Structure 1
Amino acid sequence: MSAHIHLTPLHDISAADAAAWHQVVTASMAHDLPGVPTPGPEQIHAQLTKPTLNSHRLTWLATGATGSPVGVAGLRLFTSPGRDHLAELELHVAPAHRRLGTGSLLLSEVVAACLAQDRRSLIVEAAADSPGEAFCEKRNFRQALALNHLILRLDHLDEATVSQVAEAEHPGYRLTGWTGTVPDDLAAAFATAKNAMNDMPVGDLDYGTENWDADRVRAMAQVIADRGDTLLTLAAVHDGGAMAGYTEILLPRGTAPRAQQYDTAVVPAHRGRGLGLWLKTAMVRRLRAQHPGVVEIETDNAEDNVHMLAVNHRLGFRSYRRTREFQLDVSAV
């Protein structure tokens, strides 16, 4: 049946290409992830056409015998030192066209591209107990990390907990925040704090390391702004000038009611003081005051990241789905 499928590498992506991609992704997510908001057409167009940070993207569109879109694959190839062995896959097949060889054809193209780009590891995320998980297991991917996705409903907060945490004293620390690009006087300290994420639990993923400096944190903010999203950051700064920790929230373009938690990290020398919970609680207050259209926040944590899970549960996050990160040893294919 796969003989009736035509694969097209996408280079200069047109509005029609982006619309076809959106059609497949929407159908796939509605089937596999009921209740999870699907990206809008503008988000998809920005994802496909705007630059990414320290990486580049390859994309393919699969069409059926009538020319209708039936599958898509996006491959992000990381380029920074410490991660230039790694590629990340997004693959969707419309439910009505599954089990016809489309996914296998797309994966073959992706693996060939990884080999051509000298990548040893390919990672992909799939919902637990989903068709995507079964697809990975049948094609020699191994499960490398289990993730717990949680939701915080801002109208279900325990106000007593929010007040208690937000108003607790943290001698020697102050909170500061910004939207978009970090202020110049904090850029170097922020980059140092970002490097604290390198010890986050990643299971058995061959994830590499990310090295941040002031230029890179500015570039990250620009990438997010260019695709139309808004990045909010709150940081805890020590009296000595070091940034002790930070938390980031992404607001998707438009008026999406669900915000996405990006990084939350506390630098090792400042852990054990409740700064993570303090930062996240202050961010909740900021969202409610400045962005009343946001009604919930989604985050995910490795299932063995017991500390951050405890922080999130204390604030009121509740589990609502699980995903798995799978990894393919490309050199062994």
Structure 2
Amino acid sequence: MSYTIAISPLSWVSVEKAAAWHEVVAASTEHDLPGEQPPSLKQVQAQLTTGGLDSRRLLWLATGPDGAVEGVAGLRLFDSPGREHLSELELYVHPDRRRRDVGSQLLAQAVFAARVEQRRSMVGVAADGGPGAAFCEAHEFRRVLTFIHLLLDVAVADTRAASAAPPGYALVTWTGTVPDDLAGAFAAAKNAMNDMPTGEMDYGEQHWDVERVRAMARVLADRGDILLTVAALHGNVMAGFTEIVIRAGEQRRALQYDTAVVPEHRGHGLGMWLKAAMVRRLRAEHPGITEIETDNAQDNVHMLAVNQRLGFREHRRSHEYQLDVQAGTR
């Protein structure tokens, strides 16, 4: 008897469906990334039910003959100017249900949807040397960027750079949404992210304004996450910033979000100063957080050097893969 898999769209995320999705993601993480802490059910549920910034998400479940959810896929469709061509794939198959064409059928559904949405490119991340990387290569995805993932032990981080401000600069901090009097300067500084290394990825550009930075903070707040920002002011100009997110219910690890220094203010040690000040802030305000995770493109040698000076150490590697949606897959 043939093995039949049913692929169905998930238009409404019930508690039961979220739990099934989480079970697949958690089992895949534990199997494919030994030692990595999988996301909690609360974190997965928040991701599935909270709208993303300038994007929307399509979801599918793959169900086996016994009614069990064997795989899940999500396709994020970006809608902001400069990124309307892009889609981002998230796909997991339960380790006990692999080698049954589940992943290929989920991918086929996602590719069809991307074509309908007139997307040019589909990108996704897979761990170096893992089954996800082999899957991507077997389905005509092209490796376009390598990420180095790093971990920092907060207790032993070298924060001496935070002891004195570079001449002419002042430190400001906030939690959640940027204060009104800093919003315009912060939005301008955010646009410095557009020169980060993206390898051969068809990434496009993100354009930040006051409403968009506020919208990003709302997305994180709706998920129950805590957003911490430390920034450098030079007069009325925001010269740089760094962001940390503590996910809802997280007891141990914080995630590094954006860090950027405006081009005109580079060469003054602002990146190191800001990140060291953030570590000191974490120690004071969130003593239960013991480590920070970040990732840098392999080509981003400057930020890698800053992170290594602070005490970050390489944890693992992953690769960004990209598919020409119109060309299709095998």
Q: Per the shorter chain, which TM-score range?
A: over 0.9
Equivalent residue, structure 1, for 2:317:
322
Counterparts of 1:83 and 1:162 in 2: how far apart (Å)? Answer: 37
Equivalent residue, structure 2, for 1:42:
42
Counterparts of 1:203 and 1:2 in 2: how far apart (Å)? Answer: 43
Equivalent residue, structure 2, for 1:150:
150
Determine which of 224, 230, 233 is the counterpart of 1:228.
Answer: 224
Counterparts of 1:110 and 1:7 in 2: how far apart (Å)? Answer: 11
Counterparts of 1:213 and 1:276 in 2: how far apart (Å)? Answer: 22
Equivalent residue, structure 2, for 1:250:
245
Q: Which amino acid aligns with 1:99?
A: R
Equivalent residue, structure 2, for 1:127:
127
Task: Count residues in correspondence.
Answer: 328
> For residues 258-281 of structure 1, what are the alpha-carbon distances to aligned partners after superposition, in whole Å with 9 as ceiling and x for unaligned?
000000000000000000000000
Determine which of 307, 312, 321 is the counterpart of 2:302.
Answer: 307
Determine which of 246, 266, 274 is the counterpart of 1:271.
Answer: 266
> For residues 274-323 of structure 1, what are the alpha-carbon distances to aligned partners after superposition, in whole Å with 9 as ceiling and x for unaligned?
00000000000000000001000000000111000000000000001000
Q: Tell me, yes or no, if the aligned pair for 1:195 and 1:211 is still in contact at 8 Å.
A: yes
Q: Tell me, yes or no, if the aligned pair for 1:175 and 1:234 is still in contact at 8 Å.
A: yes
How many angstroms does 1:156 deviate by? Answer: 2.7
How many angstroms does 1:167 deviate by? Answer: 1.4
Equivalent residue, structure 1, for 2:10:
10
Counterparts of 1:14 and 1:24 in 2: how far apart (Å)? Answer: 16
How many angstroms does 1:13 deviate by? Answer: 1.1
Equivalent residue, structure 2, for 1:162:
159
RMSD: 1.0
Counterparts of 2:289 and 2:315 in 1: how far apart (Å)? Answer: 18
Q: Tell me, yes or no, if the aligned pair for 1:2 and 1:100 is still in contact at 8 Å.
A: no
Pairs within 5 Å for 1:159-308 = 161-163=158-160, 165-239=161-235, 241-308=236-303
Counterparts of 2:127 and 2:313 in 1: how far apart (Å)? Answer: 17
Q: Tell me, yes or no, if the aligned pair for 1:2 and 1:102 is still in contact at 8 Å.
A: no
1:332 is paired with a residue whose SS is coil
> For residues 8-41 of structure 1, what are the alpha-carbon distances to aligned partners after superposition, in whole Å with 9 as ceiling and x for unaligned?
1000111111000000001100000112111111
Q: Tell me, yes or no, if the aligned pair for 1:2 and 1:101 is still in contact at 8 Å.
A: no
Q: Which amino acid aligns with 2:270?
A: L
Counterparts of 2:195 and 2:3 in 1: how far apart (Å)? Answer: 46
Equivalent residue, structure 2, for 1:72:
72
Q: Which amino acid aligns with 1:283?
A: M
Equivalent residue, structure 2, for 1:97:
97
Counterparts of 1:199 and 1:309 in 2: how far apart (Å)? Answer: 15
Identity of aligned residues (%): 61
Counterparts of 1:130 and 1:169 in 2: how far apart (Å)? Answer: 43
Counterparts of 1:215 and 1:29 in 2: how far apart (Å)? Answer: 35
The structure 1 segments of at least 4 consecutive aligned residues displaced by more than 4 Å after TM superposition are: none
Mean Cα displacement is larger for which, 166-175 or 80-89? 166-175
How many angstroms does 1:169 deviate by? Answer: 3.6
- TM-score (normalised: structure 2): 0.98
Counterparts of 1:155 and 1:64 in 2: how far apart (Å)? Answer: 46
Asked whether 1:31 is paired with 2:31, we answer: yes
Which blocks of at least 5 consecutive residues in structure 2 are unaligned? Answer: none
2:326 is paired with a residue whose SS is helix
How many angstroms does 1:6 deviate by? Answer: 1.0
Q: Tell me, yes or no, if the aligned pair for 2:3 and 2:65 is still in contact at 8 Å.
A: no
1:224 is paired with a residue whose SS is helix
> For residues 31-84 of structure 1, what are the alpha-carbon distances to aligned partners after superposition, in whole Å with 9 as ceiling and x for unaligned?
001121111111111110111110000000111110011100011000001001
